[in-house]
Protein backbone atom coordinates (compact mmCIF):
# COMPACT_ATOMS: atom_id res chain seq x y z
CA UNK A 1 0.00 0.00 0.00
CA UNK A 2 1.11 3.57 -0.73
CA UNK A 3 0.17 6.93 0.77
CA UNK A 4 1.12 10.57 0.49
CA UNK A 5 0.89 13.19 3.21
CA UNK A 6 0.11 16.90 3.00
CA UNK A 7 0.12 19.59 5.68
CA UNK A 8 -2.10 22.68 5.58
CA UNK A 9 -2.51 25.89 7.51
CA UNK A 10 -6.07 27.07 6.91
CA UNK A 11 -7.42 30.60 6.97
CA UNK A 12 -9.55 30.81 10.15
CA UNK A 13 -12.58 32.08 8.25
CA UNK A 14 -12.30 29.11 5.87
CA UNK A 15 -12.24 26.29 8.46
CA UNK A 16 -15.76 24.97 7.75
CA UNK A 17 -15.21 25.02 3.97
CA UNK A 18 -11.83 23.31 4.33
CA UNK A 19 -13.24 20.55 6.56
CA UNK A 20 -16.04 19.96 4.07
CA UNK A 21 -13.79 19.93 0.99
CA UNK A 22 -11.09 17.70 2.50
CA UNK A 23 -13.29 15.57 4.76
CA UNK A 24 -14.59 12.00 4.30
CA UNK A 25 -17.35 13.00 1.85
CA UNK A 26 -15.66 16.05 0.39
CA UNK A 27 -14.74 16.97 -3.14
CA UNK A 28 -11.31 15.33 -2.99
CA UNK A 29 -12.61 11.99 -1.75
CA UNK A 30 -15.42 12.01 -4.31
CA UNK A 31 -12.84 12.50 -7.06
CA UNK A 32 -10.53 9.81 -5.69
CA UNK A 33 -13.40 7.31 -5.36
CA UNK A 34 -13.71 7.33 -9.13
CA UNK A 35 -10.65 5.06 -9.14
CA UNK A 36 -10.97 1.50 -7.78
CA UNK A 37 -7.33 1.62 -6.58
CA UNK A 38 -8.07 4.42 -4.11
CA UNK A 39 -8.46 3.13 -0.55
CA UNK A 40 -9.19 6.02 1.83
CA UNK A 41 -8.24 9.47 3.10
CA UNK A 42 -7.58 10.51 6.67
CA UNK A 43 -8.07 14.17 7.64
CA UNK A 44 -6.17 15.01 10.83
CA UNK A 45 -6.65 18.17 12.87
CA UNK A 46 -3.89 19.51 15.13
CA UNK A 47 -5.11 19.65 18.75
CA UNK A 48 -2.86 22.56 19.67
CA UNK A 49 -3.20 24.58 16.46
CA UNK A 50 -6.83 24.52 15.24
CA UNK A 51 -5.96 25.89 11.80
CA UNK A 52 -3.37 23.17 11.06
CA UNK A 53 -4.37 19.94 9.30
CA UNK A 54 -2.83 16.94 7.58
CA UNK A 55 -4.27 14.64 4.95
CA UNK A 56 -3.11 11.10 4.28
CA UNK A 57 -4.37 9.57 1.03
CA UNK A 58 -4.05 5.78 0.67
CA UNK A 59 -3.79 3.90 -2.63
CA UNK A 60 -3.09 0.27 -3.47
CA UNK A 61 0.26 1.28 -4.97
CA UNK A 62 2.29 4.26 -6.09
CA UNK A 63 1.74 3.20 -9.70
CA UNK A 64 -2.03 3.21 -9.19
CA UNK A 65 -1.88 6.72 -7.75
CA UNK A 66 0.25 7.96 -10.65
CA UNK A 67 -2.14 6.36 -13.14
CA UNK A 68 -5.04 8.14 -11.46
CA UNK A 69 -3.21 11.47 -11.69
CA UNK A 70 -2.61 10.92 -15.41
CA UNK A 71 -6.24 10.03 -16.11
CA UNK A 72 -7.85 12.66 -13.85
CA UNK A 73 -5.19 15.37 -14.03
CA UNK A 74 -7.44 18.17 -15.24
CA UNK A 75 -10.08 17.53 -12.55
CA UNK A 76 -7.34 17.24 -9.91
CA UNK A 77 -5.75 20.53 -10.92
CA UNK A 78 -9.12 22.30 -11.05
CA UNK A 79 -9.94 21.22 -7.48
CA UNK A 80 -6.47 22.13 -6.27
CA UNK A 81 -6.66 25.59 -7.81
CA UNK A 82 -10.23 26.11 -6.61
CA UNK A 83 -9.28 25.44 -2.99
CA UNK A 84 -6.12 27.59 -2.94
CA UNK A 85 -7.97 30.43 -1.24
CA UNK A 86 -8.77 28.23 1.80
CA UNK A 87 -5.17 27.97 2.97
CA UNK A 88 -2.20 30.17 3.80
CA UNK A 89 0.26 27.28 3.55
CA UNK A 90 0.23 23.89 1.86
CA UNK A 91 3.18 21.48 2.03
CA UNK A 92 3.72 18.02 0.59
CA UNK A 93 5.38 16.10 3.43
CA UNK A 94 6.19 13.01 1.41
CA UNK A 95 5.24 9.76 -0.27
CA UNK A 96 5.32 6.61 1.85
CA UNK A 97 5.02 2.86 1.62
CA UNK A 98 2.67 1.50 4.29
CA UNK A 99 4.64 -1.12 6.20
CA UNK A 100 1.90 -2.29 8.58
CA UNK A 101 0.88 -5.72 7.28
CA UNK A 102 -2.59 -5.44 8.88
CA UNK A 103 -3.40 -2.75 6.29
CA UNK A 104 -2.43 -4.77 3.23
CA UNK A 105 -4.59 -4.23 0.11
CA UNK A 106 -6.42 -7.55 0.59
CA UNK A 107 -7.90 -6.32 3.87
CA UNK A 108 -10.92 -4.09 4.45
CA UNK A 109 -10.77 -0.71 2.73
CA UNK A 110 -12.98 1.11 5.22
pLDDT tens digits, one per residue of 29-57: 999 999 999 999 999 999 999 999 999 99
First to last CA, the chain: 14
Which structural domains are found in the chain, ordered by start?
2-98 (3.30.70.100)
pLDDT tens digits, one per residue of 96-106: 999 975 655 55
Residue 53 has phi, psi (to 5 degrees) of -135, 160
- Residue 64 near residue 37 (C-beta atoms within 8 A): yes
Longest Cα pair distance anywhere in the chain, in angstroms? 41
The neighbouring-strand residues paired with 41 are 57
- Give this prediction's pTM: 0.85
As a whole number of angstroms, the distance between CA 8 and CA 87 comes to: 7
Amino acid sequence: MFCYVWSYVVRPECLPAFRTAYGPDGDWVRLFRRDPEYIRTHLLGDRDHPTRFMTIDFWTSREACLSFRERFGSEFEALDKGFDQLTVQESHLGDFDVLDESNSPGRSRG
